[in-house]
Structure 1
Amino acid sequence: MSYLEDRHIVESRTCGGCGVEEESMEHALVYCPFVQKAWFVSPVALCTSVFPNLSLTEWILKWKGPIGSKVEMQICFASHALMAWEIWKFRNSCCFDISSPPPPFMTWIAKVNSYVREVVDLLSGSLPSLVLKQVIAVLPLAHSQNCMAIFSDAALSSVPKALGLGCATFDLSLRPCFIASAHHALAPPLVGEALAIRLALSLPRCASYSRVMVFSDCLTLTNSLSSPSSPQAPIVSIVHNIMSLKALFSLCSFSYISRSCNGSAHAVAKWTLSYPAEGFWIPPLPGELGRIVLACSPFYAE
């Protein structure tokens, strides 16, 4: 920004987004409040305030995500890089394109989310926006009545040490049914994912549905629930609880989906880390949380 100011291209070094901080590469792409909100409601559901002092280079190194397969790390990096590029383009249009006002935030982020998911779909070979529609297509007509899809996830925080649980539910018309969250003591990721599913199935609201389809981005857990005879040691008791809850429904299935399909539940889980309390909401969803859930839903842009 100092380069542009020295050449009289811009009049001030102050960020054009927040109008408070001096703009730097890190502020423009990571730490501006507007940008932080965009990252959080994006498909990657990144909470940049967790690491407040990282350089842009350190952030880029984090974009490859946790250790996984080469393809998974490539997809993770690509989704973060695409979001950074879209943020950069939006910032430049705000600063230099005075001929037309920028679009409202929710309009812009919905378009960006749809684009990022489309590219990730091409890389991963999956179609998250069609996940539920594909399930509906193969369900017998009788089973599609009074049926609900549950997306669950858990998020971990090291400071403070805690676990956020989140679930987002949709009916087969792709409308939100309810969302729920809970705060839990820090536990291994597998335990957190299992607790999130138990939370969803134990909610009284679920009792009004006779058929539920549960989706999780934890393959180990969905495999354990599909073959519960020998679950891993840390989740034996939780799996037993989930199987007891499963018996209350005429249909209850457990399926694996990629993280890019699970944005709503992941966003709720991460939101819970910032607002540590149990919560339950039905539409219309309140304020910022409602916007986050809808913006992160794979069905939002349709």
Structure 2
Amino acid sequence: MDGLPQSVDETIKSLSTQDYFSGRDLATVAFLALRLGKPLFLEGEAGTGKTEIAKSLARALGRRLIRLQCYEGLDASSAIYEWNFTAQMIAIRTAEATGTADRKSLQSELFSEAFLIKRPLLQALEPHPEGPPVLLIDEIDRTDEPFEAFLLEALSDFQVTIPELGTVTAETPPIVVLTSNRTREVHDALKRRCLYHWVDYPDFEREVAILNARVPGCSDTLSREIVAFVQGLRGEDLFKTPGVAETIDWARCLIALDAVAITPDVISDTLGALLKYQDDIARIAGSEAMRILTEAQARLRLAS
């Protein structure tokens, strides 16, 4: 497909233009997925930037992003298409009122594209002037096995059948990115259709680069302190480990408070930006937070 990066280095550069700083391993699997036309399956803890990869790819390639947010009970009709029942009923009542209700022609009209509500999978199969879109199937682990089986078939042929209209087949398959927070195991058959990558938390320098790009008002010194503290938190036994999104949110909170350095009082006042469960906050607040801060500052001194 035109406009795709021609090497791993180009992939890294393209993503970096969108402030997504990828490690070489992730950039390699993304490049191969684009080159081979295979879906990319990204698994990892919540907050490691899996969804952001799809968004950054779409922006870098100038393609439309189509997102299917998965949830428990998601079925094929919600993912592909639905008929606009309300509009159909209005059309029927109008035809009856005007005396133009020819049964055969009315039925043909009611089940035409004019009354079709296109959901993400159907939208992704349609041609787009800028090129095949990026189809993000987000948090596939939240769905159930029957939907996985349906998705497996859809991704194999990149086509869906609408009984009243026929089969819709993609002229060129979309760029597919699936994400999973691993709340349950996704079936091997679906994973085999994809290139797989485990997305881990970024290393120190990469997270600092992300923070500097996303929170430009944050000084490099404060950014490094923030990342050192958050990465120290990730080593604790927490119910919900803070992700990169929480790092960014916390930095924005500190900037809003005009903080120039991290202190125990600042941590106490803003810990809710990093930790989302009261048990975690109670465990870390006070002496534990001071210990993590002291260790983080010691690591920064050793690195300088």
Q: TM-score range by the shorter chain?
A: under 0.3
Higher relative contact order (CA 8 A, sep 6+): 2
Structure 2 length-normalised TM: 0.22
Larger radius of gyration: 2
